[in-house]
Amino acid sequence: MIIVLKPGTPPHVTQELLDRIAESGLKPLHLPGAERVVLGALGDERVLADLQLDGHPMVESVKPILAPYKLVSREAQPEDSVVRIGNAAIGGGAFAVIAGPCAVESYEQTLASARAAKDAGASAIRAGAFKPRTSPYDFRGHGAEALQILRSVGDELGLPVVTEVMDASDLDLVVEKADALQVGARNMQNFTLLRAIGQTRKPVLLKRGMSAKIDELLLAAEYLLAGGNREVVLVERGIRTFETAMRNTLDLNAVPYIKQRTHLPVVVDPSHGTGIRDLVTPMALAAAACGADGLLIEVHENPAVALSDGAQSLYPDQFAQLMAQLRPVVSAVGRQLAC
């Protein structure tokens, strides 16, 4: 339920209303907006009806949140959320490109790939320390050692770093080293992990599961917000369809659809979405054109020898071209590209 307060409601009245909601066993939410304060009450709506808040002199309106995802919905918060990863802003008109190699392979490889990303205009570096791989015999990342490498590279270049956390037992370690956490497609519905991350205040990139419906993605994000972590960015990274020509089918329909329903920023990952290097730039431009708030791009100093996802990783000069082509598209849709 959403409770809209009249403009000029004094803070002590807001607090009284929040206390009444909490005393009745509902979860109170304080959602101060630019123009007026909105309160939320989550739980049994019959209990809220008994509180009769619509009769309060400072309450303008009381209306139900119809979406199953409450905190994530635009009904709860009409204005865009802006998520900050270090100095990089995502959402609310700010467009950010997060780039880097699929995995941290070595200090030299990570630094060279990250430097190429930075020089071309990326505003954050992403590289995996813990890699979810289909085969247990494939390279699964250098773990804790890679986290330290990534941190050092981020510090050296002065850019924030993003990396995947695969297991709740690694969370403290990853929180200590990273500026933002990635939840991978295979873990989108790992509710233990989502609940643990919800307790932190680290920004999160939550990737859509390869067979996940949009509502399931939004409900996965609801776990994070319900835990208290509102710094959530949704990532469309392609889904499984009958089409096998590409690694995945990049669902760009999802971008405007999701943005109509949530205030959270949406970023597109055309690297995993296509799996094919030559498709990354056109789909990145399309993503910007259809309203994405940013991109996640794999770029490697030498994709030919990459230990994972070489076939979809851009060469540094290709990434620089992508950035050059992106700028006019981003400004044509009224957004600002950082850097």
Count Cβ atoms below 10 Å from residue 211 Cβ, excluding itself: 11
The DSSP line for 127-163 is: -BSS---SSTTS----HHHHHHHHHHHHHHHT--EEE
- Taking the complex as a whole, how short is the minimal distance between the CB of residue 185 and ligand PEP, in angstroms? 4
CB of 70 vs Mn ion, minimal distance in Å? 32
Site track 300-329 with Mn ion (rule: CB under 5 A), x = hit: ---------x--------------------
Q: Do 129 and 163 contact (CB within 8 A), yes or no?
A: yes
| Minimal CB distance residue for ligand PEP | 184
Q: How many CA atoms lie within 13 A of 226 on its CB side?
A: 18
Helices in the chain by DSSP H: which ranges?
Answer: 11-23, 45-51, 107-120, 143-157, 171-177, 191-198, 214-226, 254-261, 270-274, 277-289, 316-332
Q: How far is CA 177 from CA 80, 130, 167, in A?
A: 28, 13, 15
Q: How far is the CB of 267 from ligand PEP (least distance, A)?
A: 11
21/178 with CB nearer Mn ion: 178
Asked if 153 and 126 touch (Cβ cutoff 8 Å), the reply is no
Nearest to Mn ion by Cβ — which residue?
Answer: 102
Distance CA 189, CA 216 (A): 8
Identify what 207 binds: Mn ion, ligand PEP, none; CB under 5 to 8 Å per kind. Answer: ligand PEP
**What is the full DSSP assignment across 4-33?**
EEPTT--HHHHHHHHHHHHHTTPEEEEEE-
Give whichever of 40 and 100 is closer to ligand PEP, judged by the CB atom: 100
- Residue 247 binding ligand PEP, by CB under 6 A: no
Min CB(54)–ligand PEP separation in Å:
44
Q: How many CA atoms lie within 13 A of 298 on its CB side?
A: 30
Is 272 an interacting residue with respect to ligand PEP (CB under 6 A)?
yes
The 3-state DSSP class for residue 121 equals: coil
The answer to whether 277 contacts ligand PEP (rule: CB under 6 A) is: no
Rounded to whole angstroms, how far apart are CA atoms 203 and 210? 22
By CB under 6 A, residue 237 contacts ligand PEP: yes
Residue 102 in the binding site for ligand PEP (CB under 6 A)? yes
Query: Shortest distance, CB of residue 87 to Mn ion, whole angstroms?
Result: 25
DSSP annotation of 187 reads G
Chosen residue from 160, 184, 203, 291 binding ligand PEP by CB under 6 A: 184
* Residue 67 in the binding site for ligand PEP (CB under 6 A): no
Binding status of residue 207 toward ligand PEP by CB under 6 A: yes
Q: Which does 185 bind (CB under 5 to 8 A by kind): ligand PEP, Mn ion, none?
A: ligand PEP
Residue 242 in tokens: 């009958």
Asked if 102 interacts with Mn ion (CB under 5 A), we say yes
The three-class DSSP label of residue 3 is strand
Q: Which stretch, 6-14, 181-189, 225-233, 281-289, contacts ligand PEP (CB under 6 A)?
A: 181-189
Stretch 119-138 residues interacting with ligand PEP (CB under 6 A) = 128, 132
Residues that bind Mn ion (CB under 5 A): 102, 309
Contact residues for ligand PEP, defined by CB under 6 A: 102, 128, 132, 184-186, 207, 237, 272
